[in-house]
Chains A and B, each alone.
Chain A
Amino acid sequence: MLSNGLIIAFTFGYMALLFAIAYFSEKSAGKGRSFASNPYIYSLSLAVYCTAWTFYGSVGRAATNGLEFLTIYIGPSLFAPLWWIVMRKIIRISKVQRISSIADFISSRYGKNITLGGLVTVFCLVGILPYTSIQIKAIATSFNILQYSETTLNLFQIPFYKDTAFYLAIALALFTILFGTRDIEATAQHEGMVMAIAFESIFKLVAFLTVGVFVTYFIYDGFQDIFNQADLRGLDHLFVLQGENGVSEWFWISVLSMMAILFLPRQFQMSVIENRDEKHLDKAMWLFPLYLLLINVFVLPIALGGIIHYQEASVDADTYVLALPISYNQGWIALFVYLGGFSAATSMIIVSTIALSNMVSNNLIMPLLLVNDRLKSKYQHKLGNTVIWIRRGTILIIILLAYIYYKEISSQFSIVSIGLISFVAIAQFTPAIIGGIFWKKGARVGAMAGIIAGFLMWFYTLVVPTIVTAGFFPESLMEDGLFGIYALRPQHLLGMEGLSYVSHGLFFSLTLNMFLYVFISLFTSQSSKEHNQAVVFVDIFKYSTTLDSSIIWKGQAYLPDLKALLFNFLGEEKAENALKEFSLRTGKTLGNQRYADPELVNYSERLLSGIIGAASARIMVGSVVKEEEISMEEVLGILRETQELKSLNLELRQKSFALKRATGKLQSMNETLRLNDMLKDEFISTVTHEMKTPITSIRAFSEILMDEDLPEEDKKRFLDIIIQETNRMTRLIDQVLDLERFDSGRQKLNLEKADLRILILQSAESMLQLFKEKELNFEIKLGFDQLELMVDEDRIKQVILNLLSNASKFAKSKVILNSFLKEDLLIVKVKDDGKGVPEEEIPFIFDKFFQARNQTSKKPIGSGLGLAISKKIVEYHGGQIRVYREDNLTCFEFNLPFHEKVRQHTETQKTYE
């Protein structure tokens, strides 16, 4: 209905769009702006699960089996919550061990075994190749329908050079090579590819929803209408669970798809290798099932709508999504749908071939190359390039094989059956993987036996019948069984009836597989290498941080050899960087060592694993290492030791930290004590010194009085002096005691309500005489009328008197007393026009005996305790005292707060008593 040219233009246009998306994402990521590291992109990339099979086949399946098509989506949705346990563990293991594919994973787990990895690769190829070919078939068929409105039967007879599908396949191969093999490391993440796949996921969803809406709301009048009409036509069996084998069918297919979502090579590639952050699983766990729900909403309406519309006309239900818009002459919708199907098919092809090419290069070709000495010596020095070209070649070959398969073989089968048969093949890896990450005893021999047996069973029960159908084997095989043994009928083993052939195949292959895996593992002892890997896999969360050092390895390697090996694969620059990173992380210098230590050997092996797979890496490293076999006891010993050392280390670190803290505390306490001690010494020496002055006078005059016959007048004068000096001593002692009480917090304030105005005036009055004698001008300014505060009246007076008397000693002509209220403070200022306190002494002026300490040139201040005591008194009242210069006057200022602090403070003081 649409011209060939138009369809081709759109198809290649779409391809160009993919190229552009991939190209620009890579470019952007190169600049450090990665879009792919994002849980939404991650979830969308998982939707590579939905292939052409979903896009076309679901409707086909729904048209014949009703709701049963849902099973392959219900399985993954049900299993999604468990991803946190299973998938996260697989991701962690793969990141730590630098695993590049599902084959690599299994080979790694079972002692980095080459045979096992190769086996898995071959089985993957056998299982996935037909699946890939049906994607090509879907593209070709849909292209054809769009062009001629129906499937032309001669599709397979077109020579390949006239076949658009062939050129599309080549284009796909090109895309995959370009964006899937840029980096030699198979563990490297493909930013552009992931973004392109995420885009395709959106595209196919929108396309499918479009045709769904078109069918449901434009051809019919909504869901209700379709279901009513279907009901009238007796199609109601399609929208209820079917009886007979319905339930077991649901169960088996759901289980099957649970395994598929984990282990299909393309799913493993997207969910594990391309995972950038384990945390993305959080969102994917609900976003991915949501995606599945959305893409399935319209499946049944379309299927029913198709059946109703075409009635008896023989239109393949697989093509309804495309055929319906065409019947209604909606060319553009049809084109859009076609592109949606194209995107579903291409995303599967691209990711699958990348995954398969990694497996083939790392687990099949490399090991073969490395085992053969002649080949090895030939390629040894250009292995890096060889690996990449093997991968590129593999991609091309796989896609061509898929194309050939489609041309020559797949004409015989419907889409869904191949998809499910594929699933069953992949399901054979389940026991080995799940057992491998949760059961340390799981052994290589068991895994190998299980997988081989499972595959043979798969081949016999699921593949042989299709070959029979195609006419290559005699029909009698199906009816009479192999060698005529009735119990060996491929679809009815042991006379089993009541299961669909897929469930039947799954049941027998998986049961046999599991039985052999478990049974043989139980009776096999693992080699040390294998056990080592088993422990690391099962306890990955315990070991992932100390992996290099906990892997068991015994032997010697020349550092230059090891370096040469890394250079060959990584290139000089990358290898040097990797070694630098190693020495940075471990703190080991690699300068001129002759031998590499085990840790470095392990590190190198893991680096190589990321490029050529675990098994090949082991061979390569083995070639430069003289390895000694290590006994099981040693393995366990070393592992245990590492763990113990780790916890011991931690404990030690904690202890030493605590000790350090305690030492620090003690040191600062000691410092404080020493300082206090020094201050105390100084204080005592100053106090005694200060006391000597009055005592000297007292003694001198006493002796004078005693010895001499003095005139009465002198006698009286000298006695007066003695009394004066005694008073001075008493005052000094009182002040020292005062200060001591303030310092130790034992001083008690005698708080009473007092009128501050009266208090200040009284203090000032008692100084008037002194100012008059010294001929000083004394000014008082009070900025408030009445203020009652809870204070210790005598103490506050003491402060004011102290400040006034100090001022009188320094003033040249005047002293000013100024008091006012500011916010919730009473401010008292005493100013004098003396020369002021030198800047550098201001911080110490309120220290006790400051003037005495400042040594030999003594200043004419009293005991040296006045300001120290004043400060304490003010602070006890919750106020502050300070000194500064203002308008050329020296200003001592203190304040008293109105608030509760004062009372609280005195109350706490009382509790000391």
Chain B
Amino acid sequence: MNKILIVDDEPNILLSLEFLFKKEGYKVFIARDGEEAMDIIEENDPELVILDIMMPKVDGYEVCRYLKKNHKDVKVIFLTAKSKHQDIQKGMDLGADLYLTKPFSTKDLVNKVKTLMN
């Protein structure tokens, strides 16, 4: 079973994403901040991480940098409200596979995750 980690500090967004991907048959882990995310990555080796950027303690950029350094194969999707051109550029430069902005289409997100996982 494919393992997905979802990182966001908004409980309701976490809830919706968790529900969505569980239904698609993924094993879903959730984290409320960057620190928690890194712990889960070390413990559970998720294949794909959906990352918010603005979070307490450790932000999304930091988590992405950490992943690309220590877990090169893990796919990264930024899912954030930051939609400015510079923000997208910065995310892609860090080596993210996808950069999606909030609000998002659930169908679209699920499809993109599927494509990335195969």
A residues near B (Cβ < 8 Å) are 685, 689, 692-693, 695-701, 703-704, 707-708, 714, 718, 721, 724-725, 855-860
Q: B13 touching A700 by the CB < 8 A rule?
A: yes
Q: Which residue of B lies closest to A724 (CB)?
A: B12
A792 CA to B19 CA in the complex, in Å?
Answer: 45
A-B contact pairs, 21 of them (CB 8 A): A692-B103, A693-B13, A693-B102, A695-B103, A696-B10, A696-B102, A696-B104, A699-B103, A700-B13, A700-B104, A701-B16, A704-B19, A704-B106, A708-B23, A721-B15, A724-B12, A856-B53, A856-B60, A857-B54, A857-B56, A860-B56
Chain A min CB distance to B6 (Å): 12
User: Which of A704, A714, A855 is in CB contact (< 8 Å) with B20?
Assistant: A704
Q: Which of A685, A696, A704, A714 contacts B103 (CB 8 A)?
A: A696
The answer to whether B69 has its CB under 8 Å from any CB of chain A is no
Q: Given A689-B82, A692-B103, A708-B23, check contact A697 B57 (CB 8 Å).
A: no
Is A697 a contact partner of B10 (Cβ separation < 8 A)?
Answer: yes
Q: How far is the CB of A705 from chain B (nearest CB, A)?
A: 10
Partner of B54, one of A695, A697, A704, A855: A855
- B81 contacts chain A at the CB level, 8 A cutoff: yes
**A692 engages B53 (CB within 8 Å):** no
CB contacts (< 8 Å) of B53 on chain A: these are 856
Instruction: List, in ascending order, chain B residues with CB within 8 A of A700's CB.
Output: 13, 16-17, 20, 103-104, 106
| A704 vs B58: C-alpha distance when bound (angstroms) | 30
Query: Nearest 6 pairs between A and B by C-beta?
Result: A700-B16, A692-B81, A856-B59, A696-B102, A697-B12, A696-B103
Mark each residue of chain B from 12 to 44: 1 if its CB lies under 8 Å from any CB of chain A, else 0.
110111011001000000000000000000000
Q: Which of A693, A696, A718, A857 contacts B55 (CB 8 A)?
A: A857
Binding site for A on B (CB under 8 A): 9-10, 12-13, 15-17, 19-20, 23, 53-61, 81-82, 84, 102-107
The docked-state distance in angstroms from the alpha carbon of A859 to that of B54 is: 9
CB distance from A34 to the nearest CB of B (A): 75
| Residues of chain B lying within 8 A (CB to CB) of residue A693 | 10, 13, 81, 102
Once bound together, how far apart are the Cα atoms of A858 and B57, in whole Å? 8
Residues of A within 8 A of B105 (CB): 699, 703
A726 to chain B, nearest CB (A): 12
Q: Please name all residues of chain B whose beta carbon is closer than 8 Å to the beta carbon of A696 when the two chains form the complex.
A: 10, 13, 81, 102-104
- Known A-B contacts A695-B103, A699-B103; A856 and B54 likewise in contact (beta carbons under 8 Å): yes
Interchain nearest-CB distance for B64 vs A (Å): 12
Contact B56 A697 (CB under 8 A): no
Per the bound structure, the CA–CA distance linking A725 and B81 in Å amounts to 16
User: Within 8 Å CB of A708, what residues of B?
Assistant: 23
Cβ B13 vs Cβ A857 within 8 A? no
By secondary structure, the A interface counts as: helix
For the complex, what is the distance from the CA of A258 to the CA of B97, rounded to whole Å?
Answer: 110
Beyond A692-B103, A703-B105, is A856–B10 a contact (Cβ under 8 Å)? no
Question: Complex Cα distance A714/B82, Å?
Answer: 30
Task: Report the minimal beta-carbon distance from A389 to chain B, rounded to whole angstroms.
Answer: 91
Q: A696-B102, A704-B20 are in contact. Are A689 and B81 (CB under 8 A)?
A: yes
How distant is the Cα of A701 from the Cα of B84 in the complex, in angstroms? 25
The CA of A342 and the CA of B105, in the complex, are separated in Å by 121
- When distances are taken between beta carbons in the complex, the residues of chain A under 8 Å from B13 are 693, 696-697, 700
Given contacts A696-B13, A697-B10, contact A859 B56 (CB under 8 A): yes
Query: Of A700, A721, A857, which is in contact with the most chain B CB atoms at under 10 Å from its CB?
Result: A700
Taking CB atoms, residues of chain A closer than 8 Å to B103 are: 692, 695-696, 698-700
Report Cα–Cα, A697/B102, bound state, in Å: 9
* B112 shortest CB reach to chain A, Å: 15
Contact partners of A703 in chain B: CB under 8 A: 105-107
Q: Which of B15, B57, B102, B104 contacts A857 (CB 8 A)?
A: B57
On whether A858 and B54 interact (CB within 8 A), knowing A689-B82, A692-B81, the answer reads yes
Given contacts A700-B104, A858-B55, 8 further A-B contacts (CB under 8 A): A696-B13, A697-B10, A699-B104, A699-B106, A700-B106, A703-B106, A704-B20, A718-B16
| Closest partner residue, chain A, to B59 (CB atom) | A856
Q: Is A697's CB under 8 angstroms from B9's CB?
A: no
Q: Name the distance in Å between A718's Cβ and chain B's nearest Cβ.
A: 8
Contacts of B60 in A (CB 8 A): 856
**Residue from B17, B60, B102, B104 with most neighbouring chain A CB atoms (10 Å):** B102
Which A-chain residue is minimally distant from B62 (CB atoms)?
A856
B82 cross-chain contacts in A, Cβ below 8 A: 689
Contact B102 A692 (CB under 8 A): yes
Decide: A857 near B59, CB < 8 A? Known: A700-B17, A708-B23: yes
Chain B residue contacts of A858, Cβ below 8 A: 9, 54-56
Contact of A697 among B16, B58, B59, B107 (CB under 8 A): B16
Name which residue of chain B comes closest to A702, CB basis. B106
| Chain B positions within 8 Å of A695 at CB level | 102-103
Q: In the bound complex, what is the Cα–Cα distance between A708 and B81 (angstroms)?
A: 26
| Chain B nearest CB, measured from A595 CB (Å) | 67
In the bound complex, residues from chain A placing their C-beta under 8 Å from that of B104 are 696, 699-700
Bound-state CA distance A707–B81 (Å) is 24
Interchain CB contact under 8 A, A856 and B61: yes
Chain B: minimal CB distance from A55 (Å):
102
Contact of B12 (CB < 8 Å), options: A714, A721, A857? A721
- Nearest CB in chain B: distance from A259 CB, A: 93
Taken together as a complex, chains A and B put the C-alpha atoms of A626 and B58 apart, in Å, by 89
Distance, CA A725 to CA B12, complexed state (A): 9
Report how far A725 CA is from B10 CA in the complex, Å. 11
Expressed in whole angstroms, the Cα–Cα distance for A328 and B79 within the complex equals 128
Cβ-closest chain A residue relative to B12: A697
CB contact between B58 and one of A698, A721, A857, A860 (< 8 Å): that residue: A857
| Residues of the A chain whose Cβ atoms lie less than 8 Å from the Cβ of B17 | 700
Q: How far is the CB of B110 from chain A (nearest CB, A)?
A: 10
Q: How far is the CA of A718 from the CA of B61 in the complex (A)?
A: 30
Which of B16, B23, B59 has the largest number of chain A CB atoms within 10 A? B16
Q: Which residue of B lies closest to A721 (CB)?
A: B12
What is the bound-complex CA distance between A304 and B12, given in angstroms?
Answer: 126
CA distance A714 to B55 in the complex (A): 27
Least CB distance from B32 to A in Å reads: 10
Chain B residues within an 8 Å CB radius of A857: 54-59
Inter-chain CA distance A858–B53, complex, in Å, is: 10
Q: Report A720 CB to chain B, min CB distance, Å.
A: 10
- Cα distance A696–B56 when bound, in Å? 19
What's the nearest-Cβ distance from chain B to residue A699, in Å? 4
Chain A residues near B55 (CB, 8 Å)? 856-858
Residue ID in chain A nearest B102 by CB atoms: A696
Closest-by-CB residue of B relative to A698 is B103
Point out the residues of chain A lying under 8 angstroms from B10, CB to CB.
693, 696-697
A692 to B9 alpha-carbon distance, docked (Å): 14
Contact status A704-B59, CB under 8 Å: no
Question: Chain A residues with Cβ under 8 A from B20's Cβ?
Answer: 700, 704
Give Cα A855–Cα B82 distance, bound, in whole angstroms.
11
Report chain A residues within 8 Å CB of B54.
855-858
Residues of B within 8 A of A692 (CB): 81, 102-103
Complex Cα spacing A685 to B86, Å: 14
Distance in angstroms from B15 CB to nearest chain A CB is 7
**Which chain A positions have C-beta within 8 A of B107?**
703, 707
Q: CA separation between A721 and B10, bound complex, in Å?
A: 12
**Closest Cβ neighbor of B14 among chain A residues:** A697
List B contacts of A721 (CB < 8 A): 12, 15
Residues of A within 8 A of B12 (CB): 697, 701, 721, 724-725
